[in-house]
Each structure stands twice: as C-alpha cells, then as structure tokens.
Amino acid sequence: MEERGIESVPEAERRGRPRDLFLVWFSSNMSYLPILLGGSLMVLGLNVWQAVAVLLAGNTFWALVGLLAVSGPSTGSPGAVIMRVLFGVRGNRLIGCGLGWLTAVGFEAINLSVTVLAGQALLAETGVDGSPAARGVILVLVAVVTFTISVYGYDAILRMSRAITLLLTLSLLVAGALVAAHARPAADGSAGAALGPLAAALVGLTVVASGPLSWLCGADYSRYLPRTAPGRAVAGWTAAGGWLASVFLGLVGVLAGTVVDMADPLTSMTALMPTWFHPVFLVAVIVGTLANNVLTSYSSGLLLQGAGVRIRRARAVLLDGVLGGGIALYALVAANFLTALNNLLALSVAYMGPIIAVYATDLLLRRNRYDAAELADTRPGALPSTGVGVAGTGAFLTGTAAALLCVNTTLWTGPVSTWLGGADLAAIAGPLVAALVYTALTRAGHTRPDRPRRSIDASGAPHDCAAADAAGTRLVPVVDLKLSAGGLVVIRPARREPTDPPG
C-alpha cells in the first residue's frame, strides 16, 4: 500500500478488518504511562477500591476515541482534515491541528524522557555507568527507531503492533502478577491526603481521563479500512484496545501503590520483582513507550500538515522527532522543566476534551456523512467563507473556559475547583459544555448538519446528478448547511436523491 499523508486514501487502496485496530491501540497503550496514572491515584490518598472505581470511570473516555475512528472509513481522511468541518480551514489550523500538534510533541518528549531513564536503568543492571553521554546515545537511538517506523506509516505500525503485542503482554502480565503478590489491598493512604475522598477521586478522574483524551487521531488509522467497514466494529475494536491496556496497567499501578511510593514508580516497582526480572521489566517499559510514541508521532506529523505547514509527512515526522528529542534532552538535565511540562500536559485536558467532544458531537449529528472531496477543498467559500467555523470555535472556547474554571493543577486552580475543596471537574465540564453549545449553535438554523453536496455510492464514486435526471431518476431539491461569520446557517441549493422520509 502506498503510504498516504494528509490526503484521503482511495477506496481501491484500502484493506483490512476492524479487528486489526485492536492490536494497534492495545500495543501502543501497553506502556509506562497507564502504570504511572494508576499509581498516581494512590498518591492522591485513595484506597484500592476507590482507585479502581476512578480508573474504570476515567477510561470510559476511550469510547470517544472509538467514536472518532468511525469517521475514518467513511472519508478515507485523517482527523486533521475532518476537523475542517468543525472549526473551518483557518480555525482548524490553530485549534484542532495546532493545539493537537503541540500536545502530541509534549507527549513525545515525555515518552522519550521515560525511555531514556529506563534505558539508563537497564545499563546499570549490566554494570554500565549511565553517564550523560550514555543518555544522549540512548535518546538518539530510540528517537531514530521511533520516527523511522512512523515515517513508513500504517503498514509498518500494524506489523510492529503484531510483533510486540505478545512480548509486551507476557512481560507485563508477569510484572502484574509479581506486583499483585506483594499488594496490600486493605492499605489506605487517606490519613495523609491533602484532599477529601470525593475531591481526590475527581482529581484522579481527570488524571486518568488525560490518557484517552490525548488521542485525537482515531480516524488516522481506521481510514485505511474499506468504506464498508461496520462503524460499530471500528469504534468497538479501537476503544477496546486502548481501554483494556489502560485498565490492566492502571490496575498494576494501583496495586503497586499499596506497597511502594508511586511518586517514583520506575525505581520503586523494581523492589517488588526478583533481580532476574528487572531487565525484562525495563525492556517492556522501553518497547511499550516506543510503541506509544510511534502512534503519537505519526499523527502529529499529519496534524502539523493540517496546521498549514507545507511539508511532506516524512519531514514533518522528522521535525517532530528533532523537537521532541530536544525537549526531552533538556528535560533530562532540568528536573524542574520536566515537572512544568507534566503540569502543562495535565492542563491539556481542559482544551483537548472540548475538541474531541465537538468532533464526536458533529459526527453524531450528521450521522457520519462526510464528503472526502469537499473536505479536501480549501478554496474560499468551499468551507466557512471566513475560514473559521463559528459553531465549532464557539463550542471549543466555551468548553475550554468551563474546564479551566473547574481544573485543579499546580499551575492553575479554577474558582469552581477551589469552591469545591479541590475537586477537579475539567474532564466532565469541558466536553459536556462543548457538546451542548455545539449542538445549540448548529441547530440555530432550526435544523441539523445534513449530508454533503455529493452523494456517494457504495463504490465511493460521486453520483452524476445530470445523468440521473436523464435516466429518469427522481431527484429532490435540498440544501447544504454552512455556518457564516454571524453564526447563521447559509443555505445553498443542491439536488440529491431522496433517501430519508420527509419531515
């Protein structure tokens, strides 16, 4: 298969089954991050059963990632293109693609930092001193492997997923069993907690939700499936892969937190393992984090192109690698910077949640009826004439404002969070407000988003309306819905075959 960039994938080049997506998302989330997120719940002072409940609730946001993936087969386009419908061509460059790209690069830097630290610990196991030079060599090697796989694209990612899933599953199952054998489920750290149980649980919910809410790229991988791929299967296999890996490893982090200090889990967890298994665990951390970064860097390259940077995807991925590697290198020698970067990523829930909510709401309102040719048309007037989608942008701004009022981080604590004693409702308030506002603004013209101008048949080819008229096929006058600068619906005449009953 020819590797595609931001353009849509032709129907003739698509293949595969929805269940292939399970391995892609499962392997990329069998990484260190879910363990860290699960362990953080115990650091907050929750008991085991409270932490498990929060872990399950926070990971339900994987359903949104699965829903976004449904738009891939219907258009053959990545999320960076589909979001033009939501925010307009220019608005999307800043909101959907711009903020998404910055967040992706931040996560790439965090993943590279973790991989270097795990590699340094692995060298220490073999008696090699982890000097600054050794850190630099590890960083370069990991970055080269990560971004090389990303450049080769979806086929390489799928082959990588199949190759490493078994290795990661077996290794981390053993790690989980070893942790469970030492766990003390009755442990309760609430006595020294800074927050009450409810406030701590809500902060933990936002922390866990930051995992799935960092993935804006569900369609980037499902777009290689045939148009006929069932939407429920696409959503289900995508969500199941990320959910299962995140819940399992999050549970490992929770159980480890009953015994050791999960503020430094990479070091602390080795105390629960026999000496012979230390290197195996560290290799699993390295490989899992690398797999996570492969998906992140692949999609960040598409987002950079979608942000209006005229650059080939391979070079976009290379640029991401240089930036992410540079940030990671600086973070490794400036501990305070790494802390600040982590806080910034925690705040990303405040804006990524609303972006994903607007995307998901639009998909539901228009019943996944997008037109790949129209999405690719960036000429003035093809999409919102001002280049900014009023409904999407307005919903994003209000949703983000609502989330910031409710967030609780060391960088910013919103007044609602302060009033509630430190409770963090950002992961709930932001997406909910964004979805409601987008629905209201979209229906301001007393209707909902409808089908695009071009009617697509099962083969993926546009219908020729003139030919249909000549053949005697009954066509009806319809309208396309576009949002103007004033927020009203612009009605354009068109003709389409009737498929829905009137009314």
CATH number reported for the structural domain that contains residue 247 in this entry = 1.10.4160.10
φ/ψ (deg, to 5) at 349: -60, -35
Query: Which range is most confident: 50-54, 114-118, 275-279, 483-487?
Result: 50-54
Question: Which residue type occupies 122?
Answer: L
User: What pLDDT score does 14 carry?
Assistant: 85
Q: Which distant-in-sequence residues (6+ apart) come within 8 Å of 65 by Cβ? A: 25, 212, 215, 218, 238, 239, 242, 356
Instruction: Give residue-wise pLDDT tens across range 194-244.
Output: 677 888 889 889 889 988 998 888 888 898 899 889 999 999 999 999 999
Total domain count, the chain:
1
Minimal CA–CA distance to 445: which of 497, 484, 496? 484
Across the chain, what does the average pLDDT equal?
Answer: 78
Give the Cα-Cα-Cα angle 399, 435, 229 (nearest 5 degrees).
Answer: 130
Note whether residue 324 is domain-resident.
yes
Note whether residue 1 is domain-resident.
no
Note whether residue 364 is domain-resident.
no
Note whether residue 312 is domain-resident.
yes
Note whether residue 493 is domain-resident.
no
Note whether residue 344 is domain-resident.
yes
User: What pLDDT score does 2 carry?
Assistant: 39
Residue 439: is its pLDDT beyond 90?
yes
- Indicate the pTM of the whole model: 0.80
Note whether residue 368 is domain-resident.
no
Per the structure, the complete domain to which residue 17 belongs is given by 11-354
Q: Which whole-number Å values give the CA distances from 37 to 52, 310, 313, in the listed order? A: 12, 36, 31
Q: How many helices (H) and strands (E) does the chain have?
A: 24, 2
- Are the beta carbons of 294 and 107 closer than 8 angstroms? no
User: What pLDDT score does 370 carry?
Assistant: 82
What CA–CA distance (Å, rounded) separates 20 from 18?
5
**How remote is the C-alpha of 237 from its chain's centroid?**
15
What CA–CA distance (Å, rounded) separates 256 from 276?
19
Note whether residue 134 is domain-resident.
yes
Instruction: Give residue-wise pLDDT tens across range 332-374.
Output: 776 665 566 566 667 889 999 999 999 999 999 988 888 777 7
